[in-house]
Copies of this chain bind each other. A is one copy, B any other.
């Protein structure tokens, strides 16, 4: 038989990253294409100890069905950390545990978006959000990203032109660019959205990975009721556990809980309990400081190698956190061409095209600096310089 698929499947971008990652799985290829944390920075021993403790102190409950909202001690940990780190006053009743922060995006789309609804998104914007939200068939309105955050005048125009259901952004160390929004942009976005019906979806996957400068308050501080804040343990604990969360107004959260229940009942009981045990027993602040030290070194090394080895006309961002550097190539070089040439040199990069909802970005490249160690970063950047043809 030939199967007829839903219309929404036609609007989902084919996963370019998926295809690329498949090509670059070979160990002889140095990959800057993915977005994996550094494996040496996952505390396997401590997480194994937490797992043993969970099995010893209530294994049956850890293997049984549980509530959709999530494991209360984990939700309390998240709320406490918001208070301590960011002065954000939220309670566990405002936290829903999700199966990674990717699911947070899916649930938000499910609960909020009707086909054709306008979604404003940074240009370039996070591909995972574009994929998740595309399945709800929105109209994407891109808002250009400047050096310190979204172009406020462009956002204002988008808000005037359309009834924007939500604006999605990554204010800390954005994926793909590594840009962090300034204080002025944060307040500016909040002030533009204040009193409107537009939700702000604040994806804070990288907020803890800030290796330069001081942390800035989340936009939710200035726009508390209509900001849906999402977070993830993938970058500060372990991505394989697939645990993220949504922090939102209880009325909105109630709808998200209904959607979550229909989508997968609840997130793994075992993973939530292991993670809660690990987080309560470890010195998370010290661990996060170590991650930041390492990623800061990696980022500086990669940036220095770009400046030393790449030709004039290559422009790069200067991340103060996160996992990515964003490079714009000279006018005569497309990122797809470079991708092919780089692969011949056994180094993988991610062309920036799929981060643009309206096309463009042909000369942009995302480089991941978290996964490889310094030796492989150095070798990989030399290979990449050869591919550029210096």
Contacts and interface: CB of A to CB of B under 8 A. Distances in A.
A263 interface: yes
Interface stretch (A62-70, A174-182, A332-340): A62-70
Contact of A9 (B7, B36, B68, B255): B255
How many copies of this chain are found per oligomer?
A: 2
Given A240-B62, A240-B270, A271-B271, A4 B197 contact: yes
Contacts of A282: none
A387 to B, nearest CB: 26
Interface in A254-270: 255, 258-259, 261-270
B269 A240 contact: yes
Interface string A73-117: 000000000000000000000000011101100100011111001
A36 to B, nearest CB: 6
Interface size class of A (residues with CB under 8 A): 35 or more
Given A42-B64, A100-B265, A242-B266, A114 B7 contact: yes
Interface stretch (A43-51, A320-328, A355-363): A43-51
Of all A-B residue pairs in the complex, the 10 with the closest CB atoms, nearest first, are: A240-B269, A44-B59, A48-B55, A63-B238, A63-B240, A103-B264, A99-B264, A131-B262, A1-B226, A242-B268
Interface of A: 1-9, 12, 14-15, 18, 34, 36-37, 39, 42, 44-45, 47-48, 51-52, 55-56, 59-66, 68, 98-100, 102-103, 106, 110-114, 117, 128, 131-132, 134-136, 165, 195-197, 199, 225-226, 234, 238-242, 249, 251-252, 255, 258-259, 261-271, 274
